[in-house]
Structure 1
Amino acid sequence: MTRSTVFAPFDLIEGDRSKGLVLVADHARRTLPQDYGDLGLPAAEFGRHIAYDIGVEAVTRELAALTGAPAVLAGFSRLLIDPNRGEDDPTLIRQLYDGTVVPGNYPLAEEERERRLERFYRPYHDAVAAMIASVAEASGRAPFVFSVHSFTPVMQGRARPWHVGILWDMDDRAPRALIEALAADKDLIVGDNEPYDGALAGDTMSRHATANGLAHALVEIRQDLIADDAGALAWARRLAPIVDAINRRPDIHEVKMFGSRTDPSVAAETKEARR
């Protein structure tokens, strides 16, 4: 685990904002501010997926370098507060995660929950919103938002076969192209909304992209494939030309409201249409 005396809730990677592309990494780090200690956990827990998305910071930095795009990285561990959740999500601050009890999160007073929102969560989301606005201004068009995550090969005793997954809700502009391009490599097992469903109310993509009609996609890379620098670089090199090609499409930079499957009325209409 990494601790910092001067704690920044986010980190910015500068890039060419006129490209119209924004990279986002919600779970890039396992860092905790000094006043939170280790949340009562042994150091080994901070090497697990429960603390951060292993390999994502390296992939995002390489991807930013290869595409020339700016990026926003959350600067705190998801064990402190999860930036990829809505403020009212019950898993926003986890007390139990994949078999591990987090003593520093239990019990949690409402005042402490609000303190973490104000110190870490909201500044990060303000930075994401500001970057998107800045890229829109510099490029003169709606930005394409690409979020980088990773997933553990085994969760709750169950193996996950996918090498990579693309998560999305209703806007299929970028996800379909990503899935098709990745699946062209016959050695890859590519998940469509695996190992998670991309429709999550209040998460980063919902908040900054879906709600604003911006084209977006979230990539999940299996952590054992990017746990070292060589793997991270290889995946950044695999993704960069695909992301660049999608970003060059004019329709990717149009504002289009697709709605969300988290909206009960939309979910009902979608279910009816598929009968």
Structure 2
Amino acid sequence: MGILSVEEGDPVALENVVARGPVILVCEHASRLMPKALGTLGLAEDVLASHIAWDPGALAVSRLMAESLDATLFYQRFSRLVYDCNRPPESPAAMPEKSEVFDVPGNAGLDRAARDARTEALYLPFREKLSGLVKARIAEGRPPVIVTMHSFTPVYFGAPRAVEIGILHDADARLADAMLAAAADGRYDARRNEPYGPEDGVTHTLKEHGLSNGLANVMIEVRNDLIRDEAGQRVVAGYLTGLLAKGLPAINQ
């Protein structure tokens, strides 16, 4: 028996597939849904509702941005604790035994067969379908811009984080540079490669689908206390849409 039942459907979802805008929004940590076959991985409900299982608010903000930008939205339908699709299969963080201060009993001591089953059920469909979407756009003469969307906890290992918006990049900083220049208005505490950076392994999707195809790309991180409700989500989505609108022309210069 596989990780996902037929009734649970596809591990990934696409919205606004026929979008005319250049951006593909990717939300790897959109959901805290657990496959029925894996139960709760030994975690309490309050832990499964926390940031270790998903990126709260990220999907809602992504949907608002997709509407404003006429962008396609591509996202993972199951929890990052089962498989973090922003990590390659060989990474320990793909199926973490511990996330921040929380042990994940259901991920402890996974053997090769168990890891392979999760990779095949969740990561490979994510990678292959996103790759297919990107390659189709390139073939149409519409090379896309890859924008990955995340949120982060305001307190990490007991330490408060002052940064509010992170603009992250790997080797290609064109779009990030332009967005950071636009964010110099000071409305938010926006920083480069914070609260994480390439050295933390968080740019896997950017490298796999952006850099490998020569496409402009950026990763956006939003502190999740700013997007806990619909009002906050709309405000932040509007701001980020504005940053992207100002940044996109710079990638062709």
- 8 Å Cα contact 2:203-2:219 kept in structure 1: no
Report how far residue 248 of structure 1 moved. 4.1
- Once residues 132 and 236 of structure 2 are traced to their aligned partners in structure 1, the CA distance between those partners, rounded to angstroms, is 28
Q: Does the CA-based 8 Å contact 2:149-2:220 persist in structure 1?
A: yes
Task: Output the CA distance in 2 between the equivalents of 1:55 and 1:201.
Answer: 19
The answer to whether the aligner puts 1:194 opposite 2:186 as a matched pair is no
Other-structure match for 1:240: 241
Structure 2: how far apart are the matches of 1:167 and 1:249? 16
Question: Could you tell me how far 1:96 is from its partner in structure 2?
Answer: 0.9
Cα-to-partner distance string for 1:179-211 (whole Å, 9 max, x where unaligned): 111221x23111111000135387111111122
**TM-score, normalised with respect to structure 2:** 0.92
Give the match for residue 89 of structure 1. Answer: 91
Does the alignment pair 1:7 with 2:9?
yes
Q: Structure 2 CA distance, aligned partners of 1:176 and 1:15?
A: 28
TM-score, length basis structure 1: 0.85
Percentage of matched positions with identical amino acids: 33
CA contact (8 A) 2:41 2:105 kept: yes
Match for residue 112 of structure 1? Answer: 114
SS in 2 for 1:126: helix
Whether the 8 Å CA contact 1:167–1:197 is kept in 2: the answer is yes
Cα distance in 2 between the residues matched to 1:180 and 1:248 = 13
Change (3 A) 1:182 1:6: same
- State whether residues 23 and 60 of structure 1, in contact with CA within 8 Å, keep that contact through their aligned partners in structure 2: yes
Q: Which amino acid aligns with 1:213?
A: G
Counterpart of 2:35 in structure 1 is: 33
Evaluate the alpha carbon distance shift between residue 99 and residue 39 of structure 1 in structure 2; reply closer, same or farther with a 3 A threshold.
same
User: Does 1:230 find its partner at 2:231?
Assistant: yes
Matched, 1:172 2:144: no
**Paired letter, 2:231:** A
| Matched residue type, 1:221 | V
Distance 1:57 1:222 in 2: 14
Please name the residue that 1:181 is paired with.
182
Distance 1:19 1:68 in 2: 5
1:100-125 Cα offsets, whole Å, 9 max, x none, are 11111112111010000000111011
SS of 1:32's equivalent?
Answer: coil
Deviation string 1:25-64 (CA, Å, 9 cap, x unpaired) is 1111111111111111111111111000110010011111
Asked if the contact 1:153–1:224 (Cα under 8 Å) also holds between the matched residues in 2, the reply is yes
Once residues 33 and 96 of structure 1 are traced to their aligned partners in structure 2, the CA distance between those partners, rounded to angstroms, is: 19
Name the counterpart of 1:54.
56
Q: Is the 8 A contact 2:175 2:251 kept in 1?
A: no
Number of aligned residues: 248
How far apart, in 1, do the equivalents of 2:145 and 2:46 lie? 37
Check conservation: 2:62, 2:73, Cα contact below 8 A.
yes
CA distance in 2, matches of 1:203, 1:155: 22
Cα displacement string for residues 215-263 of structure 1 (whole angstroms, at most 9, x for unaligned residues): 10001000000111111111111111322343345617xxxxxxxxxxx
Partner Cα separation in structure 2 for residue 248 and residue 6 of structure 1: 40
Superposition CA RMSD, Å: 1.9
Corresponding residue number in structure 1 for 2:104: 102
From the superposition, tell whether residues 249 and 177 of structure 1 become closer, same or farther in structure 2 (CA, over 3 Å): closer
**What one-letter code is carried by the residue in structure 1 that aligns with 2:120?**
E
